[in-house]
Structure 1
């Protein structure tokens, strides 16, 4: 026996068949009769809705589309509660079968509201089953399970609805079972699946619900095969086939052949699997069920792949692709035909109204023309505002990208500038500074033999000392060693000491409880340069006698505050040249926020940087 993980049975396919079985059996079970007994045919609305529901239940596509068109013209403003319930559940079911799932959810929820309002638990079970099916196809398994469990616990729900949801709960749990990796989880899910299948079989056997019973037996075949319980799988296959043949359930037989083919592939019986699946292919091709035909063909490729007959698999995939393309074209043409039919129906209605009353017809035409103009105007405005908003969004995106690019360019330029400053500072300190220091040391060691040279040597030493201080000052401005070696706090302390030694303004540095500060080197450099630039502005323009630099942390932010008691700064002052733009660029580069408060007595700059 060969076990191929590739050919794990697809639970979604079982689910779709279970949905189909619950619909196709409506004419033979109690669910439709329950609906019919509740909605008495006592008005045009209830009569058409009753017919639409019956057409949906028995697969009458042409009749279903015709009745659906008729319900579209109904006015529910004066409808009875029963008429409204029948209207929403029949339209919701039809929308679900035609693939309009969003509208189906809305219609079925309206029906559910009416059922809850009247406390009709039996009807609530019917609607809940349909809602679960719709949510499953929308790939929302949690909501699907919510409605299925609600129906399963509703003792007043029709037996066919309860057995259907039990099967569907098993299918969803089977999907979870296939995706589970923990053995305990898989065992727990297997117990739930088996329990629900047994409960479903019990209900179907008790109510003699042959069609749904055959459907449950059919999906149990691959379930047992997936657990390598082949004897059970073949046993349920034989029971299902006997029932389907006896009661002429050709659709059940066709899908059973697909499931049996999957089991045979897993069991290593590839040739027989191909022949068995071909029967399903022929059946679905005959009734033009393209989705199931494609499903059967896909399973057939598994068998050919197992036999290494890849050319045949390739041909089947080509056929499947062509069928999908053809199906898409047919569905599109069908939609166009439906819209044309609606247009023709409205046109005939207008002609009949014109024959009844000329004045009424003119007024109606005028109203429709006005409505058309308003609709086109609304549509035009909608399109205009849509594209305008889209254009604005695109412009904002472009602006954001430009800002990011500019910031990145500024950041790159600043990083290049800092690297160059480091290099020059290192060369001044290690090269020129050391050489001047050596010259000064040599001058100090010269043995002065002639007094007349004393004054010249003394002056020479003073000049060398001044040059050495200047070089060290330039080196400190370019890149202080304290910032590289000890960090921002020590560097700011050194900057204040340097300004106090070489300037006229009294500077003070306040370190507010910052013992250790871990910052990126880039941020430290930017903050230090901002402080340098602000101090330079104070020296040049403030005419202050005192200035204070504060550094402290608060709620995830590092705050640098620089204040002086000078003249203040006018709002639109241009006397600072490139200083303020440089400061703003550096603040932006480190995602900071700059604030300024200035009057005639004091000017305060504050920079907040996230850390």
Structure 2
């Protein structure tokens, strides 16, 4: 009888062990499936983000080309006609001088905007210099004061992707500040050592990220996606009435 009881206990323990092992196997398979699904989801999202960004870049390049080829050439033609008119009618030279000056300034502005939209031109130059050039152009706007400081202890090399995405993030920061923040002062600080960091802050109206995260604009979402694609981190801090600070950091290599 005792042998039968012992045998029954052993068989019961083996059965329980098999059930537990089967459950563990099911859990492992479930976890593996979840990981595979997450990886596929991440890969799909990354592909989608890349497609969206590539489309945006193509649109910006097309706009840049249209500005250069169409608007730029038309302004050149208008300026040529004004110069001919001044030669044909010298008495109008003084009257037409301000018009010629305005057309020249507008032509230069369109040329600068065209260059800033074209990623090929951004890739061909130093991204820090491209940012500084754009800031210099924007500083002519008397409605907002832009302070810029740059600290570079050693020269930093950027990949083409980094150049384009860093510049686009900078442009989006500027665009949001000028169009939505109602800021009167913008501060931009860039450092390149130990890793790249750009701090962009304004004294504008700000917004509430904590209570309304769903209201983050497509522009801010696009900036975060661009940052992730080049292994950078974008941090946004803002409060209503307290302005906004956006920090772009390069992720330190392991």
Name the counterpart of 1:578. Answer: 218
Name the counterpart of 1:590. Answer: 230
Distance (whole Å) between structure 2 residues aligned to residue 602 and residue 453 of structure 1: 48
The structure with the larger Rg is 1
Is 1:603 paired with 2:241?
no
Name the counterpart of 1:155. Answer: none
1:217-256 deviations in Å (ceiling 9; x for gaps): xxxxxxxxxxxxxxxxxxxxxxxxxxxxxxxxxxxxxxxx
Distance (whole Å) between structure 2 residues aligned to residue 475 and residue 503 of structure 1: 22
1:394-437 deviations in Å (ceiling 9; x for gaps): 22123113212321332244234324433542453355414422
Contiguous gaps of at least 5 residues in structure 1: 1-360
Distance (whole Å) between structure 1 residues aligned to residue 199 and residue 34 of structure 2: 37
Name the counterpart of 1:489. Answer: 128
Name the counterpart of 1:232. Answer: none
Distance (whole Å) between structure 1 residues aligned to residue 157 and residue 93 of structure 2: 55
Q: CA deviation at 1:546?
A: 1.3
Contiguous gaps of at least 5 residues in structure 2: none
Is 1:536 paired with 2:175?
yes
Q: CA deviation at 1:512?
A: 0.9
More helix by share: 1
Name the counterpart of 1:564. Answer: 202
Give the secondary structure class of the aligned counterpart of 2:34: helix
Name the counterpart of 2:89. Answer: 449
Aligned 1:474-553 pairs, distance under 5 A:
474-479=113-118, 483-502=122-141, 504-513=143-152, 516-553=155-192
1:541-591 deviations in Å (ceiling 9; x for gaps): 323221122221234x32121112233331225555311111111112112
TM-score (norm 2): 0.80
1:501-535 deviations in Å (ceiling 9; x for gaps): 13622112221125633111111100111111111
Q: CA deviation at 1:488?
A: 0.6
TM-score (norm 1): 0.36
Is 1:429 paired with 2:68?
yes
Give the secondary structure class of the aligned counterpart of 1:548: strand
Q: CA deviation at 1:440?
A: 0.7
Distance (whole Å) between structure 2 residues aligned to residue 607 and residue 523 of structure 1: 12
Give the secondary structure class of the aligned counterpart of 1:389: helix
Q: CA deviation at 1:378?
A: 2.8
1:132-169 deviations in Å (ceiling 9; x for gaps): xxxxxxxxxxxxxxxxxxxxxxxxxxxxxxxxxxxxxx
Q: Which has the higher contact order (CA 8 A, sep 6+)?
A: 2
Is 1:417 paired with 2:75?
no
Is 1:405 paired with 2:67?
no
User: What is the Cα-based RMSD across aligned positions, in Å?
Assistant: 3.2
CA contact (8 A) 1:482 1:494 kept: no
Give the secondary structure class of the aligned counterpart of 1:562: strand
Change in 2 beyond 3 A, CA 1:480/1:382: closer
Give the secondary structure class of the aligned counterpart of 2:192: strand
